[in-house]
Amino acid sequence: MRFGIIANLDKKKVQTVLPDFLEKLYSEGIPAVITEEVASQYLLHPDYFKVYSRNELGDHCDMVISFGGDGTLLGAAKDVNASGVPILGVNVGRFGFLTEISVQELYEKLADLIAGNYQIEDRMTLQITVVKNLNKFSYFAFNDLVLEKGSYTRTILIETYINEEYLNTYNADGLLVCTPTGSTAYSLSAGGPLLAPDMAAIVITPICPHSLSQRPLVISDDKIVKFKAWSEKREMILSVDGQSVLQITEDHLIQVRRAGKSVKLVKCSGYSFYHVLRTKLNWGEPPKKYYE
């Protein structure tokens, strides 16, 4: 087993725990490769840890370990997904819905990981294509894409189609399209439904719609969502997995479909999705008096 290490070095706690983990790998002779960012931060045993860019890392390891929060894992998924390598998220952030285990649990599970005692969970992803005249831009989303009005105070109009059939023109602050994995992120805050991660579905969630009748919609994963938007200010913002990527005008057409590749997440904590829901969302325990 050769590990690939990706880390969010902007987090002080990551800067504290990562050198100790790298030292453990070195002292026990466990092969690992690291990103250029990690190599520039730490000068531990430079002859032992091979260094690659984030886009190359997945081709040189059997498993990527991501140190940080959910945002770090989303970035890792984008960088290494072409390689098909599985990713283990180590929560060194605040909430950690996607990150599987804590730093302490990583040490406890290390022998199991090396021995192959873990499961792989496939998570669907989205392919986004933005077309303007003869220009075409493509993006990959693990969680979601969001079209927002930006700094302008008024709502925008978003003309939306499923395949080629007109659905609705949303009058809202924006529109969000997400995977089942992304249903626990921004979509949840915007009033969207929670979906189990093994579902094959796409969620369309309007953000602060002007009409209460404009509700979130769940569609099957074989559909293509298309939309165009209009704003009095003309310029809107398209974000993918929390990163702003493009300014949008009424001349852009945005198409969203299921991507051909899934993200492979390492599962070794023994916790189910429903356990994570109860824990992260502070859902209560059943009243004991009914079971006594």
Q: Rounded CA gap, 168 and 165, in Å?
A: 10
pLDDT at site 292: 54
Q: What is the largest CA-CA distance in the chain?
A: 68
- The total of other beta-carbon atoms located within 10 Å of residue 277's CB is 15
Amino acid letter, residue 151 = S
Task: Check residues 2 and 153 and name the one with the higher pLDDT.
Answer: 2
At residue 264 the predicted structure's pLDDT band, cuts being 50, 70 and 90, is very high
Q: Is the pLDDT of residue 284 over 80?
A: no
Residue 288 phi, psi dihedral angles, 5° rounding: -65, -30
Show the 3-state SS of 204-265: EEEECCCCCCCCCEEEECCCCEEEEEECCCCCEEEEECCEEEEEECCCCEEEEEECCCCEEE
The model's pLDDT over 170-193, given as tens digits with 9 standing for 90+, comes to 999 999 999 999 999 999 999 999
At residue 152 the predicted structure's pLDDT band, cuts being 50, 70 and 90, is confident
Q: Any catalytic annotation for residue 241?
A: no
% of the chain surpassing 90 pLDDT = 78
Q: How many residues does the chain have?
A: 292
The model's pLDDT over 42-94, given as tens digits with 9 standing for 90+, comes to 877 888 999 999 999 999 999 999 999 999 999 999 999 899 999 999 999 77
Q: Is the pLDDT of residue 235 over 90?
A: no
At residue 199 the predicted structure's pLDDT band, cuts being 50, 70 and 90, is very high
Q: Rounded CA gap, 265 and 85, in Å?
A: 9
Task: Check residues 173 and 288 and name the one with the higher pLDDT.
Answer: 173
Q: Is the pLDDT of residue 287 over 70?
A: no
pLDDT at site 263: 96
Average pLDDT taken over every residue of the chain: 92
pLDDT at site 121: 95
pLDDT at site 18: 95
pLDDT at site 104: 94
Amino acid letter, residue 131 = V
pLDDT at site 45: 83
By DSSP bridging, strand 174-178 and strand 201-207 are: antiparallel
pLDDT at site 125: 97
Catalytic entry in 20, 70, 173, 241: 70
The sign of the torsion formed by the CA atoms of 111, 264, 38, 106 equals negative
Beta bridge mates, 264:
122
Q: Rounded CA gap, 215 and 213, in Å?
A: 6
Asked if 5 contacts 38 with a C-beta cutoff of 8 angstroms, the reply is yes
